[in-house]
Structure 1
Amino acid sequence: MSIRAIETSYAGHRFRSRLEARWAVFFDTMGIQWEYEPQGYAVGPDGERRPYLPDFWLPGEKLWVEVKGAEDQLDVELLVYAATPHFGLPSPSVPRCENGYEARLLILGPISHTGRLIGPTTGEHAGYSQPAHTLLSFRKGDVFSGSASFFSSGLDLWPQGGIVANDAPRIHWETRGSEWGNWVNGGGLISENRDEMVHAAYRAARSARFEHGETP
């Protein structure tokens, strides 16, 4: 028996799942502009093209976003197709590039907790631990799995990572346990600044209630 996601209304949109609505709350709290399911595309090489409807487009960050509640719900082949520029999702006129990698697709899972850090010698607040989310990037014919984290100054990207596919495309299934292990909710990143905005955004998204017309 499959579990059906609860459709949820927020900000004038009907989201397919409550998790997607919570990420919209997160973006709003962070002041990040978002578009929900702006358009569907056919992605993949000739003869293998498949329909794909990305969950969000972040115009300010120049990134597509896929939201999934668990790693085993991800269609890996479809996401690799989507992340490959010449037969995947369209690129903006000026793509977002980091160290020669074109950032393509951000993978977001369940809304994570952030942790308040206390200095071991001072006993004072020293920042937060926060999640690192998976980022698919493209460089010289290959798709890479890197990471991204939110800060009050914007979204920081670390695209360097393991190659997960080439533009044949051949997907490296045998390495998924290690290369793809942090797709959802993976890892922790230590924030050296006192990033109250990010902490508040994760908290607002986790605590949002949508029942009976409540405002999250």
Structure 2
Amino acid sequence: MSIRAIETGYAGHRFRSRLEARWAVFFDKLGIRWEYEPQGYAVGPDGKRKPYLPDFWLPKEKLWVEVKGSEDQLDVELLFHAAIPHFGLPNPAGPHTINGHQVRLLILGPIGRVGALVDSRTEEHVGYSQPAHTVLSFRKGDVFEGTACFFANGIDITPEGGLVGNDGPDINWDTRGSQWGNWVGGGGLISDECDEAAHAAYRAARSARFEHGQTP
């Protein structure tokens, strides 16, 4: 049995799900400007074009954002095609380039839990277990799956990761069934800095309470 998302009001917008609204709360807590579903596009090569309405656009970071509650809800082919510049999503503010990669699409799952790290010998606080999220980038005809982490001063993106496929009509990715989105919702990356602001944003998003009576 599938569970229907609950439409949720926040910041003057009607979100399609509470999870989307929680990520909006998260962005606000970190001071990240966002636009919700600003425009839809047809993405993909000729003969495979599909309509796609991304959930968020982050203008300062030049990033599109897709939010899904679970990995099996991801349309892998659609997101793969959306990450390819010449028939995917446009870059309204120009390309976001890191190490030769055009960073194209950030994929966010459930709001990750964070935890304090303690030195087992001294019992002193030494940092946090930092959630990590999937980011798709494009470089020299190939799409890569990298990682993104949030900090008080922005998003730290590592685009170099597993090769997803090239810019042809097919996804040449033998491990897509087991590897796709394995960072969505959080990973085990250890933060080198005690970034209270980012972790406070995760806590605020997880605990956010919205108005009663949303339409299911």
Q: TM-score range by the shorter chain?
A: over 0.9
The question of 1:123 aligning with 2:131 is answered no
TM-score (norm 2): 0.94
**What does residue 192 of structure 1 align with?**
192
Deviations 1:97-144 (A, max 9, x none): 111110000000000111111233432222111111000000011111
Give aligned pairs, total.
213
8 Å CA contact retained: 2:8, 2:17: yes
* DSSP 3-state at the match of 1:211: coil
* 1:62 and 2:51 are equivalent in the alignment: no
**Alignment pair present for 1:29 and 2:37:** no
Which segments of 5 or more consecutive residues in structure 2 lack a partner in the other structure? none
Deviation string, structure 1 residues 131-182 (Cα, Å, up to 9, x no partner)? 1100000001111111110011210001111111211132134211453251
Structure of higher RCO (CA pairs closer than 8 Å, 6+ residues apart):
2
Distance 2:168 2:73 in 1: 24
Q: Match of 1:88?
A: 88
TM-score under structure 1 normalisation?
0.94
Deviation, structure 1 residue 183: 4.5
Q: Deviations over 1:1-43 (max 9, x none)?
A: 4321000000000000000000000000010000000000000
% of aligned pairs identical? 75
Cα distance in 1 between the residues matched to 2:133 and 2:180 = 11
Distance (Å, rounded) in 2 between the aligned partners of 1:9 and 1:183: 28
CA root-mean-square deviation: 1.5
Quick one: distance in 2 between partners of 1:29 and 1:201? 5
Counterpart amino acid of 2:96? R
- Provide the rounded CA distance (Å) in 1 between the counterparts of 2:108 and 2:153: 19
Where does residue 97 of structure 2 map in the other structure? 97
Q: Which residue of 1 aligns with 2:157?
A: 157
Instruction: Show CA shifts across 1:54-94 (max 9, x none).
Output: 00000111100000000000000000111000001001443
